[in-house]
Amino acid sequence: MADVATAIAVAARSSDRSAPRRRGLALRLVGNERVVVGCAVLLVAFFVAVFASQLAPYDPNMQILTARFGPPNLAHLLGSDQLGRDVLSRVIWGSRVSLVVGFSSVMITIIIGTAIGLVAGYSGGWIDALLMRFVDVFISIPVFILLLTIVAIYGANEPLLIAFIGISGFPGAARIVRAEVLALVPREFITASRVIGSTPWRIMVRHILPNLLSIIIVSATLRVGAAMLTEAALSYFGLGVPPPAPAWGGMVADGRTSLDVAWWVSTFPGVALLVVVIATNLVGDGLRDVLDPRRAHLD
């Protein structure tokens, strides 16, 4: 009976402290310059991607052969490429590919990694050992060679690219989540939940998972930039979104042989990719500072 009373008291104290913490968290988010700047850049990028058809001055695949390798001018603000296509229009439309691939693949990574890490860390024993050995085996697979094989069989397309990048990144997410779960399991509120008869599933979903949200959000934000760079690298080597669909990595690859005469073909999509990746990293770094309990205590 005393154990049940203790469990109820722990739950009550946690509820009383939640509202002030949420208010303090909101204030710290607004006051963090990196979060504000990064979110502003990402909002602009999302706006451009959503309204690409209205913002792009030309069809991204329209060829004007008389304007081949045209430098930036009033008709083509960022110049034109080797086929006379407007670079600005292709950069605008390319934002859709990079943002969709980056965020969608990271969502897959986080869902798979969180599920495996949560179950492994809470269950322990042979379940933990089995899941972690599965993660180790997956890490040992040469993913680039695997992608080459998959592309050779099924061909390159955007859904395949999203799935590949998402699945290939889950081992790191699983290990991070497992480490956090192992630190949470001995805590008194988990013990209290067990005492009052909560099922393992309820404990994992209702008590452990909410305490993982901060580390999951930070990890996901930092992984978006890496996923976008992976997409760009694969597109650079011809393994990404198939042409003529505009993708920033593919555009950089298209202009790599003509940098001496048409630097703008590769430079502008490269700069766009750089800016968006830096913005995601700024948001991730800022969230890490804001959500770090030790940093919050110091503030």
In terms of phi and psi (left: phi > 0; alpha: psi -120 to 50; beta: otherwise), the region of 30 is alpha
Tell me, yes or no, whether 66 lies in a domain.
no
Q: What mean pLDDT do residues 123-151 have? A: 84
Tell me, yes or no, whether 74 lies in a domain.
no
Tell me, yes or no, whether 138 lies in a domain.
yes
Distance CA 266, CA 23 (A): 45
**What pLDDT, on the 0 to 100 scale, is given for residue 55?**
92
Q: What mean pLDDT do residues 131-156 have? A: 80
**pLDDT tens-digit map of 228-246:** 888 888 877 777 778 788 8
**pLDDT tens-digit map of 94-131:** 998 888 888 899 999 999 999 999 999 888 889 889 99
Tell me, yes or no, whether 71 lies in a domain.
no
- 235: domain CATH number is 1.10.3720.10
> What's the gap between Cα 156 and its chain centre?
21
Tell me, yes or no, whether 111 lies in a domain.
yes
DSSP track, 77-97: TT-B-TT--BHHHHHHHHHHH
Q: Mean pLDDT of all residues in the chain?
A: 82
The domain total for the chain is 1
pTM: 0.80
Tell me, yes or no, whether 106 lies in a domain.
yes
What is the 3-state composition of the chain as percent helix, strand, coil, each rounded to the nearest 5?
A: 80, 0, 20
**What pLDDT, on the 0 to 100 scale, is given for residue 288?**
78
**pLDDT tens-digit map of 37-50:** 888 999 999 999 99
Tell me, yes or no, whether 84 lies in a domain.
yes
In terms of phi and psi (left: phi > 0; alpha: psi -120 to 50; beta: otherwise), the region of 197 is left
Tell me, yes or no, whether 208 lies in a domain.
yes
Range of the domain at 89: 2-14+33-59+80-298
